[in-house]
Structure formats: C-alpha cells, structure tokens
C-alpha cells in the first residue's frame, strides 16, 4: 500500500511540475513554450528529492512523465556509421551505461593499469544521482542514413516551416537525441559526456543546450518574469492518450519529442510597459491570473467572438483556441552574449511530448503570424525525434523492438 501511495504522489508531483497543456504551446496556455509548472507542495517535495533515484527500467522511458528536475543537458548527435549492427551495439552499450549512471555508479571502475585513461570521466563520482533520467530518441534522418526508411513511423517526418521561424543549421536537425535531466547540472552533463565518449567511433556532436528550471513555493517564472505553468489535473488514461504512441509497430509505448530553441529578446521586453506585457500574455504579471479571472489557476475563458475576454492576439487566447494537448518539459537557458548583437543569448529550450506530432503542429500554426509574443521571441532551433519504449528488464535494451526487425 505504501508503494502504491508513493507512486500516486509521484504522478501528482509530475502533473504539477511538468506543463501539461490543455490547449496551448505554453504551460496552461500561459506563455512561450515555458518552464515546467509547480505548486508549493510539489516544489517543496522536489527540493527533498536531491538524493533520490528515478528507476531506469519501465514500460516507458523515464524523463517523459516522471517528475521534472531542475536541470537539463540536451544533446543532438549525427551518425557517421551506416552499419546497422554497429548502431545496435551502440544502443546496447548505452543501455548498460544508463543503468549505472541512473543509479549513481561509475560506468566502469578504475583499471589497475595507470597508463590508460579511466573509462569514467569521474566528475560525478562523489555525487548522488539527483534523480537523473536519460531519454533517447531518433529522427527521420536516422532511418535514411541507415537505409531502413520502411521502418520509420509515418508520423515521423520533418516539421514544416512555421511563420516567423529563423532556424539556424547549428541548432537544427540531427539523427539522435539524448535528454539528460537531473537536480544537479554536473550530474546531467557527466551522463551525456560519458555516453558520447563511448560512442565516438559512430557519432559526432551536432548541437546541445543546457537549461534550468527553478521553483520553490510558487509557480516558476520565465525570463520575461511571468509565472509560467498552470496546473492541469489530467492523469491516468487521459494523460496516457496525450503522450504515448499506440500504433501497431516498434514505437508502441514510446512518444514523439519535439525540441525548439526559442530565443527571447530580453532587452526589447525590458523596455515594454507593464500593460503591454500583460496584453501579450493575456495574464496579470503579479499573480499569473488570466484576464477575467482572479486567481492563477482559475479556468481560462475566451468569451465570444463579439466580446472576447482576452486580447485576440495574446498568447493565451491563441493557444487556448487551438484546442490541442501536448506534454511539455521545457527549460530556460542563458548562454552568454550574442556576439552579433551584444545582447543576452537567452531563451527557452522548449520540449514537448505527444502521441502524434500533428498536435504540436496545429498549435504552432495557430500562433503563426498573429501571436503578439512573436515581437519578443524567435525560434532558432528545431528537431523531431521518436523516443523508444522503455527498457523493461536486464534482457531488454534501447530500441530492441526496432533493431530486431531490421
């Protein structure tokens, strides 16, 4: 009974921490693809999770519907091997490494021969696991490069060009993604570093992004200063229908991951008056309530076409109007100074999971050229990946259902 209660609490904490969208790209139809939402109880709970482990084995990969952590290191890789057996072996090794990393163990112990490099880089040796989760996915180009396109799920296609996109090659595309999340940034980076290191003969690094997701007693605020994330109480089957792929192929029990690197122009935003900022979101800055409501978590009402409650070009209005559901696990980032502009290189690493990428596409098309938020942000990076089902036991490995078919 205690185990069951613990599982229920963990699921409730996840719903509070991860932005589950009822009708929008941003948490609770609030804003930019924003940081995960948390309440006082879940934040307090999360603060006590620093020394806990998130199980690696399961029907689904961890890092999707497990409670959101405070840090992310997201890596996108390119294949430079077309040998399917080599790639299969790589994922088998990654499975063994991931089991150890998520338990706080070194990938391999020190050798008695001091004249060879250690197998583990060592920077996390004395640290707890900090709830480390590792999530793996593959893109449409993965199947093309390995000449196994007939096994690519029909939904897994490159995203279309959206209005206002200014995508850069250095932040777009790639063949494989690894999402490492933990409550400590060094633990997350260490995991990706060692996974990349052992596979160097088969892959090269394409792009990466670290991010943070700070929360305490209140819903976290994004870099525009707005509370970003509104509780959505979907659980159980309702949540499963949004996230997990149920097609009759190797991806069953997996999910589609969409990543977008969203640059936020802080200097422009900081010169914008309060009323205009609030009109952009369709929410009050101080308490996070939507226009027409008193409290942050009150249900958003759009009104009528003749008498809308929110500005019709506000982010919340448009996101709510889309009527689609996705699961977000997004993180803010601050990557120094943009050398071209002399401004902060800051923004949001937007990540969503959904059973069908079309859900995200419809939301983004709804925002299109109309969203007032577009005056202050631009999408500079993009990727879409199919995330395998979970590793169920010691005899299983990442992508086994796919690799056994090819």
Looking at mean pLDDT, say which of 11-25, 160-174, 212-226, 297-311 comes out highest.
Answer: 160-174
Question: Can you give the pLDDT at residue 328?
Answer: 86
Reported confidence tier of residue 47, pLDDT bands at 50, 70, 90: very low
Reported confidence tier of residue 236, pLDDT bands at 50, 70, 90: confident
- Tell me what the pLDDT averaged over the chain comes to: 87
| Nearest C-alpha neighbor of 362 from the set 281, 258, 241 | 258
Q: Name the more confident of 90 and 228.
A: 90
Task: For the chain, give the percent of residues with pLDDT over 70.
Answer: 86
Q: pLDDT of 329-361, one tens digit each? A: 889 999 999 898 999 999 999 999 999 999 999
Looking at the predicted structure, is the pLDDT value of residue 10 above 90? no
Mean pLDDT of 216-239: 74
Looking at the predicted structure, is the pLDDT value of residue 321 above 70? yes
**Residue partners of 132: CB distance under 8 A and separation at least 6:** 53, 54, 69, 101, 102, 104, 180, 181, 182, 187, 188, 191
Mean pLDDT of 187-191: 98
Instruction: Please report where in the chains the tokens 């999402």 appear, as a residue.
Output: 179
d(C-alpha 37, C-alpha 231), whole Å: 7
| Nearest C-alpha neighbor of 162 from the set 384, 386, 378, 352 | 378
Mean pLDDT of 364-384: 94
Reported confidence tier of residue 319, pLDDT bands at 50, 70, 90: confident
Question: Can you give the pLDDT at residue 231?
Answer: 39
Report the range of poorest mean pLDDT among 48-57, 72-81, 265-274: 48-57
Q: Name the more confident of 38 and 3.
A: 3
Question: Can you give the pLDDT at residue 234?
Answer: 59
d(C-alpha 298, C-alpha 254), whole Å: 32
Pairing of strands 203-212, 133-138: unpaired
């Amino acid at each position: 009974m205690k185990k069951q209660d613990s599982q229920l609490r963990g699921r409730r904490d996840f719903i509070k921490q991860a932005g589950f969208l009822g009708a929008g790209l941003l948490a609770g139809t609030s804003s930019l693809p924003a940081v995960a939402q948390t309440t006082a109880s879940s934040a307090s709970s999360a603060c006590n999770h620093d020394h806990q482990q998130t199980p690696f084995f399961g029907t689904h990969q961890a890092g999707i519907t497990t409670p959101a952590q405070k840090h992310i290191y997201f890596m996108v890789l390119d294949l430079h091997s077309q040998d399917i057996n080599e790639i299969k072996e790589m994922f088998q090794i990654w499975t063994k490494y991931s089991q150890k990393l998520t338990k706080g163990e070194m990938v391999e112990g020190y050798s008695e021969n001091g004249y060879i490099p250690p197998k583990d880089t060592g920077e996390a040796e004395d640290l707890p696991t900090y709830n480390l989760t590792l999530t793996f996915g593959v893109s449409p180009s993965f199947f093309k490069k390995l000449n196994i396109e007939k096994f690519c799920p029909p939904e897994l296609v490159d995203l279309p060009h959206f209005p206002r996109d200014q995508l850069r090659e250095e932040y777009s595309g790639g063949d494989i993604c690894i999402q490492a999340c933990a409550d400590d940034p060094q633990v997350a980076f260490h995991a990706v570093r060692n996974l990349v290191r052992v596979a160097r003969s088969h892959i090269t690094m394409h792009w990466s992004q670290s991010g943070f997701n700070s929360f305490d007693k209140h819903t976290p605020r994004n870099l525009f200063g707005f509370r970003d994330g509104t509780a959505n109480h979907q659980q159980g089957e309702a949540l499963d229908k949004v996230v997990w792929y149920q097609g009759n192929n190797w991806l069953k029990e997996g999910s589609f991951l969409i990543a977008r690197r969203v640059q936020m122009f802080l200097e422009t935003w900081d010169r914008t008056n309060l009323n205009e900022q609030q009109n952009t979101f369709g929410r009050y800055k101080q308490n996070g309530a939507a226009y027409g409501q008193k409290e942050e978590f009150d249900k958003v009402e759009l009104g009528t076409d003749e008498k809308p409650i929110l500005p019709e070009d506000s982010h919340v209005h448009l996101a709510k109007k889309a009527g689609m559901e996705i699961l977000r696990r997004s993180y803010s980032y601050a990557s120094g100074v943009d050398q071209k502009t002399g401004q902060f290189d800051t923004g949001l690493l937007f990540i969503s999971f959904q059973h069908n990428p079309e859900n995200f596409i419809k939301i983004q098309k709804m925002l299109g050229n109309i969203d007032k938020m577009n005056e202050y942000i631009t999408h500079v990076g993009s990727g879409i990946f199919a995330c395998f089902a979970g590793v169920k036991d010691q005899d299983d490995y990442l992508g086994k259902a796919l690799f056994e078919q090819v």
